[in-house]
Structure 1
């Protein structure tokens, strides 16, 4: 007991000393903080509230809590555009099949279903054992071009969008703000008025350095010009101001119908590429060509002949497809109704400072024969190729869906679609993989009296393996010259409608009507189906408002452009553009542009 009593004073002294030291340290820190002024401690966030002097200490303390600092959005990594980093080694794909040699320069592949493809590659019209001297692979769709606008059919190499820019859609109304008159062409037992299928206008906001050296009318030389370039059925290529519809320069008079969609160079170079759909005008004939125009002076700078001895199609040589260009490698990819696939190293030289432009093209041709196809007219491609890296996807008139390595010009896989397919394949890259969507028409299965109707098949494939993910069928009627099934390219949902893909289907109940169907991307199940009294060959377009809501545009045989809600399929507004609209609109900010059989081009405000 006595020993414990003797220890207590020592403990008390120790505690007092520790408290004193702590107090000294706290006072020192306070002095140090005041002395720092703008030092590290002073820069720390402090509450701005205070305690009232009359507070008893038991009352709630009012404190102004500072607004939280928003977490900055992470900077997205730069897009990879180097072909060396993008190219896929096709020998490592699950779908890869080795080739066998048929003869010198001719090869064959046999796939698991027993189907074969026999192919050759030609340079300077001579068969070669092709080995590329550079690597060709495309970047993702968002890196296809840095230009402002819609520069090719459905915007890019994924073929997934035909709108550009921003718009504040509040009234949900459409208003015609300008019209431009066009013309028509007559051919043997046919008449081609205004603009037709696919007929999507090209829209580009030109870089200033390019605009100033082109032969644009003086009133537009110093304007921040967004130009509409529109080749149509009347045989002319129109150049119009997006805002007013006024001609920005003289039209190019080709003199023969252009059915497809052109392409402006994605580098902002003054180059425009277009095919032609017919080679007759009121009894006058000419050669089929795919052309490149120098827009410094609107002269033809390069062309590919459509009639080719290498073609299995014979004399037919139209070009309805819209080309696609690799800006990284200066390489043009286009396909013909002659059944040939073209890979052209352009060797382009453009100097904006001196206003000079030149080309020295080197054309390579890919020729193939599919066991799915019948001889003759089955060879020919009218849709526009979709490309993922070095894999190109297209379907021919005979129904051969082909995945082609455009780097080595070697087939990767193919599938029998069973019928002609004019609708362009749409490609989607997701966390689950890379996929393509395609739909055929009702043509060769019914032609010649074989049947009055057949199924239109909408399909989703794994793009790398060729595996069929799902298939949705719609029975459609056949009508000679105007096929049933799907002719328009689907609207691929994004953002708030990312779960769906929307197809227009023709002649589902008669030879005049149709449906607009929204399908679940993952399952192919119907989300909604809208009955159309009049069919549509036009491709629906998605447009996103500033508030994040997505809307759709659809044109049809009845001559109306419709603004619809892609969540439900219901119309919000419509405006008449006269008569049949086979063409597909392009949209730049809040202005949609499209032509119709009424022999007019229209600018339509989305309000």
Structure 2
């Protein structure tokens, strides 16, 4: 018996040494193959948060996928989207970073008591009639402004920049695309134009992107066709010229619709520009030279269960993983290096709210997603869900009954179109969301949900629905204030920990666009002809 026990221990030690030795060897020689427990792999990685991820691939047999121009990318070239999307210099993309969870910068100067209008900027107005109505000016969904704090040596290169701004310390510029087709450049403090606008002469519904490398490139997606061209564009802000057009009516695509409402991202290290399209394709383009835009790698897919193609929501990214949601209700995780799906999830209905990534226990990525009530019919269920970002497993689900209506012959959706907002600092245990058209009405509901349990901590009934994403602001003690709007002009300022309403005020604007903030100043666009700035007192 004793001899058998000794043999068992000896063989166990041999096995353990062999197992650990093999696992450690594979970790460094073939990092894509990982056999050790995750905590051991983390130790070997040195606890690094920003590293290439190799999650276990689940069933992806539902994808009918094609690739084009495979030679246009290197599947082994490391892509690492961190939480620093040049954040020290501003907001370069929708929701402020690749995880789509940082729509503000700076700190509030004190306890908020009120909010006041500080300036208004007037856009152009396009009264032409398209097959989808007249779009006017101002901005709509998502229509978020960007704000960039240009270093002096880069600001001097911007085409047409006025000298007065070059002389100002701490110069910040608002960049916003308008439904009239123009992209405007506005002084953050005064609301005055800083340089001549550029135009695609077609409505812009989504949010433009500035290359985080600050190389002068501006990426613009078209929302509606009103002329011959229909696609996405790149402008060189150092020359003021359009330098690239991508035709969204791609003959290889499985859907004949050329819009690009989804906000694109650029990996600053490799120069890969990743842009989902409403034609059902995802484009990956390596831009090493700002003057040369090469042919893209194209991921083309179809899923029989939910065949309606088109990515309007903005994808979230963390390290080499990207999360995408489409019009059919398909949500999937993709390895952005190999451009191969990792896992698949049914999201019930059209998915326009962004894919929001939140790092939690042991820097594990969790995904917050929501769905519209569109394809379910006039009545359906809207969900805000927490998903394990590595496996696709649902952690919890908060749901509300919701409706949609017809507007000019087209569905005006209810449900969740506003991106979910993870709290930070003292609100790090909460996540915020907005349900639209609840309880058979035009009303909305703002909810604060416990990140761990999925229990609603408090909710605020809204007079009308909202598609605009809320933003979080913090003081130096870490107290959270949340600002959000509704479609019929109401602005809300609340205590993010208790739900206490600080300000609720009706304005003369129609809010669909998502705001941004830096310190005490908020900038947001409205339907019509206005981009406005509020200051929190």
Q: Does 1:196 align with 2:140?
A: yes
SS at match of 1:179: strand
Q: So what's the TM-score if we normalise by structure 1?
A: 0.76
Equivalent positions of 1:554-569 (< 5 A) are 554-569=484-499
| Equivalent position to 1:169, from 83, 103, 110 | 110
**Residue in 2 aligned with 1:23?**
none
Equivalence for 1:444 = 375
CA distance in 1 between counterparts of 2:98 and 2:450 reads 23
Are 1:364 and 2:284 counterparts?
no
2:236 corresponds to which of 278, 294, 309: 294
* Contact 1:86/1:139 (<8 A) preserved: no
Query: Would you say 1:482 and 2:412 are equivalent positions?
Result: yes
The answer for the alignment partner of 1:308 in structure 2 is 250
Alignment match of 2:164 (pick from 215, 219, 223): 219
Q: Is contact 1:394-1:402 (8 Å) kept?
A: yes
* Larger deviation, residues 511-520 vs 419-428: 511-520
In structure 2, distance between residues paired with 1:254 and 1:218? 26
1:135 alignment counterpart:
77
Superposition RMSD on alpha carbons, in Å?
2.0
2:342: which partner in 1? Answer: 412
Structure 1 residues 183-209: Cα deviation after superposition (integer angstroms, max 9, x where no partner): 433423523232100010010000111
Q: Which runs of 5+ in 2 are unaligned?
A: 1-44
- Secondary structure at the aligned position of 2:412 is classed as coil
Q: What do residues 301-356 of structure 1 show as CA deviations (whole Å, max 9, x unaligned)?
A: 22221111121112x1100011111001011111011110011101225xxxxxxx
Shift of 1:171: 4.5
Find the residue that maps to 1:210 and give its secondary structure.
Answer: helix
Tell me if 1:150 matches 2:94: no
User: Secondary structure in 2 aligned to 1:86?
Assistant: coil
Task: Give the structure 2 partner of residue 179 of structure 1.
Answer: 120
Which residue is 2:196 aligned to?
Answer: 250
For the structure 1 residues 80 and 227, does the alpha-carbon distance in structure 2 shift closer, same or farther, using more than 3 Å as the test? farther
Q: Does 1:94 align with 2:56?
A: yes
Q: Is the 8 A contact 2:206 2:221 kept in 1?
A: yes
The equivalent of 1:507 in structure 2 is 437
Give the 3-state SS of the residue equivalent to 2:165 in structure 1: helix
State the alpha-carbon separation in 2 of the partners of residues 333 and 368 from structure 1: 16
8 Å Cα contact 1:259-1:277 kept in structure 2: yes
Query: In the alignment, is the contact (CA less than 8 A) between 2:217 and 2:236 conserved in 1?
Result: yes
The CA distance in 2 between the partners of 1:272 and 1:233, in whole Å, is 17
The 8 Å contact of residues 206 and 223 in structure 2, kept in 1 or not, is answered as: yes
CA 1:247–1:576 in 2, change beyond 3 Å: closer, same or farther?
farther
Q: Distance in 2 between matches of 1:325 and 1:130?
A: 16
Aligned mate of 2:397, from 454, 462, 471? 471
How many residues matched? 483
Change (3 A) 1:303 1:130: closer
3-state SS, counterpart of residue 496 of structure 1:
helix
Q: CA–CA distance in 1 between the matches of 2:358 and 2:403?
A: 30
SS of the residue corresponding to residue 487 of structure 1 reads coil
CA spacing shift, 1:399–1:549, aligned 2, 3 Å? same
TM-superposed CA distance for 1:489, in Å, is 0.4
Question: 1 CA distance for matches of 2:47 and 2:480?
Answer: 25
Question: Which residue of structure 2 aligns with residue 435 of structure 1?
Answer: 366
Q: The residue matched to 1:220 in structure 2 has which SS?
A: helix
Distance 1:78 1:545 in 2: 33
Q: CA deviation at 1:579?
A: 2.4
Q: Distance in 1 between matches of 2:211 and 2:71?
A: 30
